[in-house]
Structure 1
Amino acid sequence: MVSTSGHTLLPDSATRALVDELLPLVSLATPNIPEAVVIAGAKGEALQQPKTLDDLVALAAALRERTTVPSVLLKGGHLSLPRKDVTATAKARGLTVTWDASGEINEDDGVDVEVISDWLASEGLAAGSPDVVVDILVDATGTRLFVGTKVESTSTHGTGCTLSAALASAYALETRRSGKAAATISAEAVGKAIEYTQGAIAAAFPLGRGHGPLNHSYLQSQRTIPLPSAHNPTPFISYLIRSCPDLWRQYVRHPFVDQIGKGTLPLPAFKHYIVQDYHYLRHYARAHGLGAYKSTDMDSIKAFADIALHIAAESNMHVAMCEKFGVSPEELHSTPEAAASAAYSRFILDIGTQGDVLDLYVAVASCLIGYGEVGLWLQRRLQTGQATLDNNPYARWISDYSGGDYIGAVRRGISNLEQRIAADPPTPARLARLTSIWQEVVRLERDFWQMGLDQSW
């Protein structure tokens, strides 16, 4: 009816035939915003072009009610909305939201990742647009929002046709797997179709002038994790973090960390933590030695060895910090390991012993990336006055984990993992194992902070 570029494709008589004769036969309608306004107006009171998320939700609901189509997917590509406004409205109305899988993750999504923004900047890549586009699915189960970072591209000719074909394919695959045809498509299948279409736009090469075609062949083979792209530069790390958003937040925004930033953490709690972290670092270095042993190429061997040396330097910082707080080297070495520290370090060593190099990389990545996240988050809070270095006994700790040396190691770690996954994509079963490892080490990291806060053994 109305193209992505805004051109009217049907005369009024054909529009009336579509509304009166065709729509009653379909189980899913996928209008864009201008089409939805026309269809809804043809079946009742005229509606204005939407300007807010509330307007979009009302339009989608009115369209389903007036046409009696079982499911309506209102495509929101014609209207960019501020991410924060979408988040606030969705929370206020209690709407279910599915965020896209792009690398840009932030607090509005319920997930916090400073290190990805830092990595993008270090690679010379621009951060994503603060605006998003919202597709709205309204069916018998309610209303669901599919929110995605706006892809800046002129390669949008045929976007609606591509999405419709992807939806039909996703429904067919869903039917084949379940062995029976559902009355309508599931929200999960809709999400996959939207993700495919976004990827086809992002991967398209700009041809000629005006609106060019999408790149429909960007997925030449099925992959559990897509290749890095301008739209999603860190697909593997983003996937891991999104697999456990609550755990991730509990880890990198733990009260222990918040109190370090404010300088209010009780000194006995920090001393207990720093002694246990020294013990943990010994085993963390051993794990990297194990990684070097298991590696078969010199680059990987060198990478593991370099990190082990970096850990040794980090442990020296712990010794100096312990002495500053009245813990002698003798006391440091004679203090037994707490249960949380032993459980975490032995889990990593066990994974490294049982599994391969990639298993070990994922097992140690939570510590590397998470501490970088904490350091950058505290650095940002220093700028807003929510943390301080003035008279803060933990100022050195904050500076070390937000400094260039450590953050440089984090950047290299992210690049290495993304390159490995791109070169050797995991099978579904392999990805499930890697995800399970990641979630467990994130949980153990969270418990390590809590051990320090509680001064528990």
Structure 2
Amino acid sequence: MVAEQLAHPTVAGIARGDLDDRAFRYWLEQDHLYLLDYARAFSRLAWQAPDGHLADLVGIAHSTLTEELALHRSLSGEFGADLTTREKGPACAAYTAWIVEAAADYRDGLAAVYPCMWGYNRLGIALAADRPDEPRYRRWVDTYADPGFTALTERYGRMLEEAGPDPERAERFFREGMRHELAFWDTPFTG
């Protein structure tokens, strides 16, 4: 499923550094809205978390709202993105509704939110092997390939394992999340 994302026209354009600015602008605006609900999902999970996971989940929610959204704000000016008045497109609305609802159950929610973190880390690492020359896209790639983000992703994976979800159910939630991730790359400006 990561290979499908790497082949997607939006991700391929980021990798080459020649993605139409309108496509990345749309993605930034949608991802900004997504990340607000992503933080809500982590907060919902934190409410249910065992003591050993609480600080990590609150930390991820905080990091999403501060560090990850700071990247979006810095890139928004460079792409002319409007992070204040956009409405969710169909893919964003479907994904955020699903992820916040899935977070009502601790184990299901952990499996549902993992594809975003894990997938972006895998994309960042894959794209970092041949970083785009375009500095705006290179900054995006570097964020998700960063060793600190990799460590956070690995810690989250351990929390998911520690929660002991039913493996088949967790895989269903993970795969559904990955399907949402792939659909999220669609913009009106790419094929």
Q: TM-score, normalised by structure 1?
A: 0.40
Q: CA deviation at 1:262?
A: 1.0
Between the two proteins, what is the percent identity of the paired residues?
A: 28
Q: Which residue of 1 aligns with 2:173?
A: 437
Query: Deviation digits for residues 209-231 of structure 1, max 9, x if unmatched?
Result: xxxxxxxxxxxxxxxxxxxxxxx
Change (3 A) 1:431 1:414: closer
In proportion to residue count, which structure has more helix?
Answer: 2
Compared CA separation, residues 452 and 414, structure 1 to 2 (3 A) = farther
Q: State the match for 2:108 in structure 1.
A: 359
Q: 1:392 to 1:262 in 2, by over 3 A?
A: farther
1:282 is matched with 36
Residues matched between the structures, number = 190
Between 1 and 2, higher relative CO (CA 8 Å, sep ≥ 6) is seen in 2
Amino acid at match of 1:439: R
* Structure label with greater radius of gyration: 1
Tell me how far apart the structure 1 counterparts of residues 135 and 157 of structure 2 sit (CA, whole Å).
31
Letter of the 1:272 counterpart: Y
Aligned to 2:100: 349
Matched, 1:251 2:25: no
Question: Per the alignment, in what secondary structure is the counterpart of residue 335 of structure 1?
Answer: coil
The within-5 A match list for 1:27-426 is 247-295=1-49, 297-312=50-65, 313-327=67-81, 331-353=82-104, 356-380=105-129, 382=130, 387-388=131-132, 390-421=133-164, 426=165
Q: In the aligned structure 2, how far is the partner of 1:315 from the partner of 1:398?
A: 15
- Once the two structures are TM-superposed, the CA of residue 392 in structure 1 deviates from its matched residue by 4.1
Checking the alignment, whether the CA contact within 8 Å between 2:2 and 2:123 is kept in structure 1 is: no
Q: SS at 1:412's partner residue?
A: helix
1:344 Cα offset (Å): 0.4
Retained in 1: the 8 A contact 2:53–2:159?
no
Q: Which has the higher strand share?
A: 1
TM norm structure 2: 0.91
Distance in 2, Cα, partners of 1:334 & 1:403: 30
* Deviation digits for residues 357-410 of structure 1 (CA, Å, limit 9, x no counterpart): 111110000000000000000112x1xxxx43x344312111111112222211
Deviates more, 1:445-454 or 1:278-287: 445-454
The residue type paired with residue 337 of structure 1 is K
Asked if the contact 1:252/1:370 (under 8 Å) is kept, the reply is no
SS at match of 1:333: coil
Moved over 4 A (4+): none
Distance (whole Å) between structure 2 residues aligned to residue 391 and residue 317 of structure 1: 16
Q: SS where residue 185 of structure 2 aligns?
A: helix
Tell me the amino acid that sits aligned with residue 72 of structure 2.
H
TM-superposed deviation, 1:416: 2.3
